[in-house]
Structure 1
């Protein structure tokens, strides 16, 4: 999981989002299955507080710390949380989630 720490995302609470996801990973003892990494700006500023399920290619947007449980549930089930997803990689092309 790549979690944006660019200027706009940080203004919207990206540091707290990162910490919440990391805490959830720790509590579920998923450190061997899920690596949470802070990144510089991912250039998806309209989706403030952006994270990417990598290598699956699902981009999540408008995240808050309270989304961390649902986000990890989706990741571990290999299912896309359409309430949180902004774009999905499908057949080599990103498709916007409606």
Structure 2
């Protein structure tokens, strides 16, 4: 296994390769993003990690940019150049943003579904209140 030197990394890109994302091309997206990064010689600045499910299956394919905390949805291999552009200039690829961390929590874009609570007991309690 490799041990990467991350001392120059500005972005850690987490690319979901869970089963829902894989069904719609997560592996192809992973390779397209990595190729774009490599072609631009940005390997020391942008580190990628293929992950398992990130819990936003409705938004497949999901990609997360940390430390900024921006979550992206519906990415395809064709989005790779614009996505890497956005990282390079440190601006969100706004058309594909699902959630943005703003220091106090995540803000959801208006076109993104809310989703369900993680705690099933909370779901039951909220359902009773509503």
Structure 1 and Structure 2 fold alike (TM over 0.5)? yes
TM tier, shorter chain?
over 0.9
Q: Which residue of 1 aligns with 2:105?
A: 93
Answer yes or no: is 1:25 the counterpart of 2:40. Answer: no
Return the alpha-carbon distance in structure 2 between the equivalents of residues 45 and 68 of structure 1: 20
TM-score normalised by structure 2 residue count: 0.73
Shifted more, 12-21 versus 86-95: the winner is 86-95
Pick the structure with greater CA Rg.
Answer: 2
Q: TM-score, normalised by structure 1?
A: 0.97
Where structure 1 has 5 or more consecutive residues not aligned to the other structure, the ranges are none
Unaligned runs of 5+ in 2: 1-12, 111-130
Alignment RMSD (CA, Å): 0.7
State how many pairs are aligned.
98
Separation (CA, whole Å) in 1 of partners of 2:53 and 2:22: 10
Cross-structure match for 2:7? none
**Using CA pairs below 8 Å that are at least 6 residues apart, which structure has the higher relative contact order?**
1
